[in-house]
Structure 1
Amino acid sequence: MLYDNDINYRYSGVKSVNNKKILITGVTGQVAFPFALHHVENNEVWAIARFGDTDKKAALEAAGVHCRVVDLCDGEYGDLPTDFDAVFHFAVARIKEDDFELELTANAEATGKLMSFCRDAKAFFHCSTSGVYQSVGHDLLTETSSLGDNHRAMMPTYSIGKIAVEAVVRFCAQEYNLPTVIARLNTPYGESGWPFYHLMMMQHNIDIAVHSDGPSQYTLIHQDDINRLAPKFLAQASVPAEIFNLSGQEHVSIEEWVAYIESLTGLTAKFKVTSDTLESVKTDNTKMCEAIGPATVTWQEGIRAMVEKAGALKS
């Protein structure tokens, strides 16, 4: 536990996601969209987003997901029910400019409004990011590592905003007695994600940035593992909120996975070595493994499947 031993914890009692009523936010996003499609097979799934992508909304509804158009900043939820067994909060507003006011409004305040609305849920899963940690080169980051402005070079407001969201989530968990778990997600990938973008950059002869303190290492986690592991975290949801790193066990560099993509496709990558990009972010998932088990998809398996799905395997 991250808190004093004399605190009395309240746990959610939600052991699995099967025949449950769940809410997923940010459902058009890279992680939440396949997560919703996976879990609608055995659950009553409700999903909210702004749904600028109407094709994704149509695909979700065709699969049986109950979609509602909601802007979390407004705090207006219409006829959305409140009796959820679990809420999976994946939504994040990507702020492109150096606008911290908008960052805090669109992410931190919006999350507070969401948790107020969902206060009667049995468990709340908040997807945070390993981008909340202070960069430490190639050292491993645990749940107690120092926080910092990790993503400043790529997204100026992102890390500060995500730290602010975690503070709001921790407060709301106690204010509403809502069992909550915070999962700091490292580098997700599957049919999309960072390795996929690198594949596209290779196809279009675009330079791939890597940090001058090389190699640029991250701890990948495949979408299949996220689909399987995220619901298991609900059993760890508590008051006060508990924090876990959510990642695989393999620390892989951009240089390494790009070289593997080269071997699978016959493409050639071009690297741009710079200090003006993300530094390595390697997370220790020991706490996760002890609580819910490890990730199982190896990075080579995952990337090969990605390349094959993209139709880019060389003959």
Structure 2
Amino acid sequence: MNQYPEEILNEKQLEMLLSRPTEATVDMFKEMDGDIIFLGIAGKIGPSLAQMAKRACYMAGVSKRIIGVSRFSNQDEQAYIAGMGIETIKGDLLDETFLGGLPKVKNVFFLAGMKFGSEDNLSLTWAMNSYLPGLVVRHFKDSRIVAYSTGCVYPLVPIRSGGSRENDRPEAVGEYAQSCLGRERMFEYGSKTNNTPVALIRLNYAVEPRYGVLVDIATKVKENRSVDLSMGHFNAIWQGDANNMVLRSLAQTSVPANIINITGKETLSVRNVVAKFAQVFGVVPLLEGKEADTALLSNPDKSHELFGAPEVPIDKVIVWTAHWMDSDKKTLGKPTHFEVRDGKY
């Protein structure tokens, strides 16, 4: 399972790598009861996460109903997901009548949320990130729920600290992070009130050659734009590894809700990553600012103890991303705004 190519040639190969289940994931599906629903499937992570679940079911020799729910503003994306053999349901999760009509399956993954442009529409940000989770945890009170959160609920910490741990007190800076902490509190409330097993995934950051912090940095280097060093360090994890950990988190749901940081172990230097991309692109990088003594960092020891360390080294992902972008392949055009230090996304 640990044989990976030197270069990713196309999106088909990329999607197969992103959705490749580990043996441990397949083994979990052999024992897991119930069907699966992905709420907010049509995002950056949802399609590969659902496809991994589909592949794991096939490899485990089990048959499960797998459902993906989204507004599906892009019909091609709905067709693509349906083509995986995943049942799609189109609708607005904030519509309580629609949400109330969704099948109450045993296993729920909550991926819906708002980050990009959150400062431009704060009421919708709070509705998606805090109000909706309250509705979801009530409707699916008899299910197991794995809900995506974010490392942004933590404060900036010293770069040599090893990152924030799950039992550290959150200090959400800015309304986006505050609304995400609200999301967690709603799931925690539902877990305690209705005895609903929940796992909250504080992800920080999942990357692949089309999207993520590495693409943000590589884009600026390739286009001869300056890279801001003030947020000079970060964590990252190959999205395929994150997908496996998130699926396996179904077996780690609990009452009260179980919080799990998912990211890579390394504290990566923006300056060093810039230098690696500059070497591949054959350019002299432009840097501005100076590294601060603090950064948004998470400690992943708990998840690595539960699920094992990531299979794909982050240096390999950097190489994959560099070759992908050097060949002018497709990127998603959705910057992470990882440079932000004041919480305003």
**TM class, shorter-length:** 0.7 to 0.9
Question: Is there any run of 5+ residues in structure 1 with no aligned partner, and where?
Answer: 1-14
Q: Which amino acid aligns with 1:196?
A: V
Do the aligned residues in 1 keep the contact of 2:156 with 2:297 (CA within 8 Å)? no
Moved over 4 A (4+): none
In the alignment, which of 186, 197, 200 is matched to residue 204 of structure 2?
A: 186
Matches within 5 A, 1:1-315: 16-17=28-29, 21-41=35-55, 42=57, 43-75=64-96, 76-77=98-99, 80-84=102-106, 86-94=107-115, 95-97=117-119, 99-121=121-143, 123-138=144-159, 139=161, 140-150=163-173, 152=174, 157-191=175-209, 192-211=211-230, 216-273=232-289, 280-312=295-327
What TM-score results when the alignment is normalised by the length of structure 2? 0.76
Do the aligned residues in 1 keep the contact of 2:198 with 2:258 (CA within 8 Å)? yes
Q: Which amino acid aligns with 1:31?
A: I
Offset at 1:184?
A: 0.7
Q: Match of 1:304, SS?
A: helix
Offset at 1:240?
A: 0.8
Q: Give me the whole-angstrom Cα distance separating, in 2, the residues matched to 1:237 and 1:205.
A: 46
Between 265-274 and 139-148, the greater mean CA deviation after superposition = 265-274
Offset at 1:298?
A: 0.9
Could you say if the C-alpha distance between residues 53 and 210 of structure 1 is closer, same or farther in structure 2, counting changes exceeding 3 Å? farther
Q: Match of 2:155, SS?
A: coil
Q: Aligned residues: percent identity?
A: 22
Could you say if the C-alpha distance between residues 25 and 208 of structure 1 is closer, same or farther in structure 2, counting changes exceeding 3 Å? farther
Could you say if the C-alpha distance between residues 202 and 178 of structure 1 is closer, same or farther in structure 2, counting changes exceeding 3 Å? same
Q: Which amino acid aligns with 2:304?
A: C
Offset at 1:129?
A: 0.7
Offset at 1:72?
A: 2.2
Offset at 1:229?
A: 1.1
Q: Match of 1:145, SS?
A: coil
Q: Give me the whole-angstrom Cα distance separating, in 1, the residues matched to 2:266 and 2:201.
A: 18
Q: Match of 2:146, SS?
A: strand
Between 186-195 and 27-36, the greater mean CA deviation after superposition = 27-36
Do the aligned residues in 1 keep the contact of 2:281 with 2:326 (CA within 8 Å)? no
Q: Give me the whole-angstrom Cα distance separating, in 2, the residues matched to 1:195 and 1:268.
A: 17
Offset at 1:28?
A: 1.9
Q: Which amino acid aligns with 1:305?
A: W
Q: Give me the whole-angstrom Cα distance separating, in 1, the residues matched to 2:327 and 2:138.
A: 46
Between 287-296 and 72-81, the greater mean CA deviation after superposition = 72-81
Offset at 1:78?
A: 6.9
- Alpha carbon RMSD of aligned pairs, Å? 2.6
Question: Is there any run of 5+ residues in structure 2 with no aligned partner, and where?
Answer: 1-26, 58-63, 329-345
Q: Give me the whole-angstrom Cα distance separating, in 1, the residues matched to 2:53 and 2:325.
A: 24
Offset at 1:53?
A: 2.4
Offset at 1:142?
A: 0.8
Do the aligned residues in 2 keep the contact of 1:128 with 1:183 (CA within 8 Å)? yes
Offset at 1:173?
A: 1.1
Do the aligned residues in 2 keep the contact of 1:195 with 1:258 (CA within 8 Å)? no
